[in-house]
Structure 1
Amino acid sequence: LGIGANQCVVKINNRKVLDGIRESEGISDDGQWLTVMRAIDKADKFSANEIVKLLGPGRWDGGEEGRGDFTKGAGLKDSQINAIINFIGSPSEPGTSAIGVSDAATLASMRDRVGNSKIGIEGVSELEQMSKLYSDQYSGRIKIDPSVIRGLEYYTGPVYEVELLLDTKDEKGRPVRFGSVGGGGRYDGLVSRFRGEPVPATGFSIGVSRLQAALTLLGKVDTTPEFGPVVVVVMDRNEIAQYQTFVATLRGAGIRAEMYLGNPKNNLGVQFKYADRRNSPCVVIQGGDEKAKGEVQIKDLIIGAEIAGDTGNRDDYLQKQADAQFAAKESDLVEAVRKVLTRHNVNWK
């Protein structure tokens, strides 16, 4: 994709460790714990102070009481809130808790915080095994991060997220942070709901839109709109078969083409607007007069758009006007359309 090794990090955690924290802090209410998980999942968006509010009484979106929408918190005790904040870390910026902290230090802290919880110890052990597998070749590119939990309830073991560390700016020069562009994990109980038997499974998802936006800012994606098909407009409903023949002829020559499939009563203006929306390089027209002559009209939409606002040289204007629409024999349809495609370097992928 063109993203360098120092421009992204895979952050991993284990839900069993979080379950161990839950046990050690005595949080027995499932609904309350779900709210806790959702609060922790926002660690890549909010500061530690905002997470504290979500773990406690709640948070106002406007920054102070009475401003914006109110999100009810988990209602934890101060000691429980402190334990969870200390567990996930207190980054100065959202989403940076794993950076600059060694896995060994993170694992030692985890083992200390889960106490005697059996499931918590099991989760830490699994992370230790994973760390040994990737530490030799991928140290720095894969990091253990206690703040990664994945918001969905069905995860039961290791979870991970891929975070971009790009230093990019938008078109206005403002810094842009993309955060997570993918993630997933282990879930042992989800499939068994449908199978009636234990089925261990893993899965992941990718944030395609966010990833595309990042690649675009990096200049790795060509954002030039691709040309649409040549559109054969419908002048006469009784000639649909003929228009379909034109489409088939163009397609047979390797040219993308389609017949206008909207209401055939729509006038040419409506059909031309449709072709513009499709980013078509040209349209093929045949009315009664053209049919009687065995001809078609080829309208170059690109030149047509150019001359619409052209106030330059009169001779140039007249030449463009002549190029913008011209007649061709039916037998020369492919050659005439190719003339327009070549003129504008139209190449479909």
Structure 2
Amino acid sequence: MADKPKKPQKLRARLPRGLGDRGPADIAATRRMTDTIREVYERYGFEPVETPTMEFTDALGKFLPDQDRPNEGVFSFQDDDEQWISLRYDLTAPLARYVAEHWDALPKPYRSYRAGYVYRNEKPGPGRFRQFMQFDADTVGSGSPAADAEMCMMAADTMEKLGIPRGSYMVRVNNRKVLDGVMESIGLGGDDQAGRRLTVLRAIDKMDKFPESEIKKLLGPGRWDGGEEGKGDFTKGAGLADSQIDTVLLSLKPGEYTFNETHFVGVTELKDIESLVRASGYGEDRIKIDPSVVRGLEYYTGPVYEVELTLETKDEKGRPVRFGSVGGGGRYDGLVSRFRGEPVPATGFSIGVSRLQAALTLLGKIDTKPDFGPVVVTVFGGEISGYQAMVAQLRQAGIRAELYLGNPKHALGQQMKYADKRNSPCAIIQGSDEKASGKLLIKDLIAGAGLTEIKDREEYLRKQAEAQIEIAETDLVSTVRKILDKHGVKWN
């Protein structure tokens, strides 16, 4: 007996962790949001530019050229020339490469914005994705504190334009020179102390999450998540002495301190930025100096800024949600210089679009309804060319329209269910009787959707009559336009 042929295995439809699909409603919400951000950025004089999703790995500024296989943090591969190429980690390093490559043709300072997906080869988790969208604006070629002040003011304007009221967000500003000065004062200057400096910065960055007693542990021997030795995960500390810890904590509190020249320069630059934003009418309820702002990327060289949502809300399960940072940036005077071999000052600001959209959705500040779909022309026997002609007529008038391309023998009910799933504002119906008399039926699906909520019989019958009307074929475009206009649906 011959063996039965093996049944072919179905491929399992699945996504890698840290990635997500997006439907029409999500995409429409993102478009509305990015249009708003773009409007603010352009008001500040920034112009658009696009860079590719991939760059040579060494251009990203995160890896040494002698590494055999860069893979920590970025997704990388070798091309046929054995050159390492990586998916972009952020939008700033590609801009630095672009500006350096087109230096002679660009106006200086060069002001540009760009939006796009970035990719992180990191362990995904709640709120941490391998692909997410950012929207950046940068000024390259100006070392003026006014360029940094503009980024802070633009960040505040963007939050308010997106519907986040004053008092519900804060733009917090610090300076890496302030932090570097403190590090030098406690003996953590120089390349050989880079690892400990990073540990100190990470501890400072948790000032808004932990009490000072826990920060001391992170600056000193380390901290157990469970609060006691042996409980929970252990985070190794920076190993600072008590006097060093006291200096770091002192630097984070309000007061006039000068630890050294580097610290003094940083404080002076912060005062300049504060003076500029106050002169433009941005008070401490919108932009404030905060010595605990660190920002994670290592290429920042001066002022750094972070936009934080300060209000709390609850998720769908009633649990409290605190959003925290939804954007930030800073001065990165060394990135373009890597390509140019000369000092090139630059500063930029980035909004985490994906993160901010999630926050705005929870706060009810963004329209999550999908855009209306096309007008659907249904099909009932006869020549399909006649129905296609109607679709063409609507499209030529600038109206989104489609022909029902399912089985033409499908009943009207099935075709109307399709139109509902397409979120169509109205559907066109023409059976043999209507065709013989040169008539059409137009079903107003938006008006019809509210019929079930009407309790009064007379009102129900009146609204039902309004939801389906018979017209002459020649009135197709004008009638559809009236229906779309009545419901505020854009059609051109």
CA distance in 1 between counterparts of 2:238 and 2:420 reads: 56
2:184 equivalent in structure 1: 23
1:258 and 1:67 mapped to 2: Cα distance? 62
Q: Which residue of 1 aligns with 2:118?
A: none
Deviations 1:312-343 (A, max 9, x none): 4555545544444444332121233245346x
Name 2:479's counterpart in structure 1. 336
Which structure is higher in helix share? 1
Corresponding letter in the other structure for 2:401: E
Return the offset for 1:188: 1.2
State percent identity of aligned pairs: 52
2:265 is equivalent to residue 122 of structure 1 = yes
Deviation at 1:155, TM superposition (A): 0.7
Q: How does 1:308-323 map to 2 (within 5 A)?
A: 309=452, 312=455, 316-323=459-466
Task: Note if contact 1:161-1:184 (Cα within 8 Å) is conserved in structure 2.
Answer: yes
What is the CA distance between 1:76 and its match in structure 2? 2.5
Structure 2 counterpart SS, 1:148: coil
The alignment partner of 1:202 has SS state of: strand
State the aligned residue count. 319
CA distance in 2, matches of 1:179, 1:124: 25
**Aligned counterparts of 2:270 and 2:300: Cα–Cα separation in 1:** 15
Partner in structure 1 of residue 376 of structure 2: 232
Instruction: Answer yes or no: is the 8 Å Cα contact 2:361–2:368 preserved in 1.
Output: no
How far apart are residue 210 of structure 1 and its match? 3.5
Alignment correspondent of 2:292:
147
Identify the match of residue 35 of structure 1 among 175, 185, 199: 199
Q: Contact conserved, 1:181 with 1:211, CA < 8 A, in 2?
A: no
- DSSP-derived class of the 2:428 partner: strand
What is the rounded CA distance, in whole Å, between the counterparts of 2:468 and 2:207 in structure 1? 59
Q: Where do residues 57-72 of structure 1 align in structure 2 (5 Å cutoff)? A: 57-60=222-225, 70=233, 72=235
Number of the residue aligned with 2:441: 297
Query: Which moves more between the two structures, 7-16 or 315-324?
Result: 315-324
Change (3 A) 1:33 1:244: farther
Contact 2:200–2:238 (CA under 8 A) maintained in structure 1: no
CA distance in 1, matches of 2:387, 2:182: 70
Gaps of 5+ in 1: 90-100
CA, structure 1 residues 153+260, in 2 after alignment: closer, same or farther (shift >3 Å)?
A: farther
Match of residue 212 from structure 2: 48
Supply the distance in 1 between the matched residues of 2:342 and 2:431 (Cα, whole angstroms). Answer: 67
How far off its partner does 1:161 sit?
Answer: 2.6
Higher mean displacement: 148-157 or 235-244: 235-244
Return the alpha-carbon distance in structure 1 between the equivalents of residues 470 and 227 of structure 2.
Answer: 66
SS across alignment from 1:235:
coil
Aligned-CA RMSD value: 4.5
Aligned letter for 1:201? Answer: A
Q: Residues 40 and 147 of structure 1 are in contact (CA less than 8 Å); yes or no, is this contact kept in structure 2?
A: yes
* 1:98 corresponds to: none
Q: Matches of 1:51 and 1:332 in 2, distance apart?
A: 73
Runs of 5+ consecutive residues of structure 2 not aligned to the other structure: 1-159
Residue matched to 2:351: 206
